[in-house]
Structure 1
Amino acid sequence: MSARVLVTGAARGIGAACAHAFAEGGALVAVADLAAPSWDGPAFACDVAEEAAVAAMAGRLKAEWGGLDVLVHCAGIIHEAPLLDTPTEDFDRVIAVNLRGSFLVGRAAIGLMTPDPENPPRVLMIASDMAHCGRETFSPYVASKHGVLGLVRSWAKEFAPGILVNAICPGPIDTEMLGATNMSAEWRARELAIPLARFGQPEEVAALALFLAGEGGRFFTGQGIGPNGGSVMS
């Protein structure tokens, strides 16, 4: 794949798997995370909720590459707590990173893309199966991912046919986000109560990102596609 690709949230989990998959496929890949990941290529320390940081990253990409062909926006955080035990500042932080960050990074990336109906650039936003089904005790996270789907559907219509915009909505994936510091043991057990009865692997999500960014993804836009083991069926 001959493409200029930016992957956010690339230090670990789905983001790292996507960055490596695109690089192994021949793409020119830049990575970003709160601390710049170790990478053989452009690597940015970027809090996606901070407009100035996102603008600086976009400016460097424009200067070094002249534009962008693919965005895979994986940066995000999760928060589990009953509604009545959720401080406003926790809600604000989840929305800032997951929704504001998606807006800022998506806007910056699209601004670097050259619309081309024959070979359209691709915007891929990582949402969640929870955006479709909801989840008790995760209301800030669910709200943020619903918002990401809203951005994707709006941008898909605004920029078609020159730029294709889709969401990937993973189910339970074996990453640090499912770890004890983010999700209770009870919820980890409940995550396995899906038809395929296992956690997915980050590489399985990366495979979908590669497909959507390639020739096979040319007729997809405005979609929320779920590598989820059957957690949501539509």
Structure 2
Amino acid sequence: MSANDSPYRSVRVSADLDSPLSRWLWLVKWILAIPHYIVLLFLWIVFVLVSVIAFFAILFTGRYPRGLFDFNVGVLRWSWRVSYYAYGALATDRYPPFSLGPEPGYPARLEIAYPEHLSRPLVLVKWWLFAIPHYLVIAFFTGGMRHGWCGGGGLITLLAIIAAVVLAFTAKYPRDVFDLIVGLHRWVLRVAAYAALMTDEYPPFRLDQGGDDPAPAPAATPAPAAPPAPHWT
């Protein structure tokens, strides 16, 4: 297996296409999602502040504080779920939960492996210099960085609208379009995690399509070992 074909391990993006889907609910999802957009506006402000704090923490200690890491993962999860419900995919009618947690029962899921150590020199350049080629690509996917990480325009939203129109006339969401949309989101979220300093693993220039992420599931942080039982003599 070549380096280009090796699995990307840091970020895992999965999605399930719900069926059946309402033929016409997508016309008003922009209204239904407004409460989430308002909350996410404030969450992303905090996300940026947390990333700045994490930058200095990594620069001086080589570690991303776990509480800050979990918060930023939660913001990305929340954004992904809302995008999946609304005009980033329109692939579920289940209303997104107001939650930063993993929500394994929801059809759009995101996991990011917690890094025990991050490169201190790399933190100075990866979020802008090294990520520039990816920024140019995902700007086309999302309609520009001003629309956020999870799609608010561009190719992703165009494909979602096409799928919704097909759904309205056939009662079926085209599977090929779904696979492509999820693949585009997977690319965007991998870059988001890298640019937010959450991993040193460089995102591949690869469109991994489909709802099942080919990346291995991030390993769980092992629980502290229990103290040895007293030995009586």
Q: Same fold (TM over 0.5)?
A: no
**Is the radius of gyration larger for structure 1 or structure 2?**
2
Instruction: Specify the TM-score bucket, using the shorter chain as the normaliser.
Output: under 0.3
TM-score, reference length from structure 1: 0.26
Higher relative contact order (CA 8 A, sep 6+): 2
**Structure 1 or 2: larger helix share?**
2
TM-score, reference length from structure 2: 0.26
